[in-house]
Structure 1
Amino acid sequence: MKITVDTGSCVSSGQCVLLAPEAFDQNEDDGTVVLLAEEPPAGAEEAVRQAELTCPAAAIRLSGA
């Protein structure tokens, strides 16, 4: 599974960070999503899927899932 994010669409809700802190962080300046890993760490796949589904701006995309 590969993760991509659209920082231009991000509304800084932080749901991704709460659900999958292994894969996402927030920019300290504006709160937008920061991708920590293009592929989820072992055991974090389901959390990353939930982050994608929960994102209010649909700024997270998964491919090869």
Structure 2
Amino acid sequence: MPDQPIPDQSPDLRVRLDRTLCDGFGFCAERAPTYFPLDDWGYASLEGDGRVPAADRDHVHRALLDCPVHAIIEMRPDED
């Protein structure tokens, strides 16, 4: 029997953006521009409800890790 890929069973990533912490570095917009567009003053906003499907998880997680002021926060599955 050939090896079958194991489907990704992990839940979708959920994030929120604390705009009061954002200093406008823009790393998030470079890493995941669909999720973190910059406003006219260069500060990030979060598009959508913060749910990130598996296909986009790596880019958004990289944006989270690269934010120097930790303005992007990963939500636990039980948080709303």
- Give your verdict on TM over 0.5: yes
One-letter amino acid of the structure 2 residue matched with residue 23 of structure 1: Y
Q: Structure 1: 5+ residue runs without aligned partners?
A: none
**How many aligned positions are there?**
64
* Alpha-carbon distance in structure 2 between the residues aligned to 1:23 and 1:61: 13
How high is the TM-score relative to the length of structure 1?
Answer: 0.85
* Alpha-carbon distance in structure 1 between the residues aligned to 2:54 and 2:35: 11
Q: Segments of 4+ in structure 1 off by > 2 A?
A: none
Q: Structure 2: 5+ residue runs without aligned partners?
A: 1-12
* Alpha-carbon distance in structure 2 between the residues aligned to 1:41 and 1:19: 15
Cα RMSD (Å):
1.6
Highest relative contact order (Cα 8 Å, sep 6+), 1 or 2?
1
How high is the TM-score relative to the length of structure 2?
Answer: 0.71
Q: Which has the larger radius of gyration?
A: 2
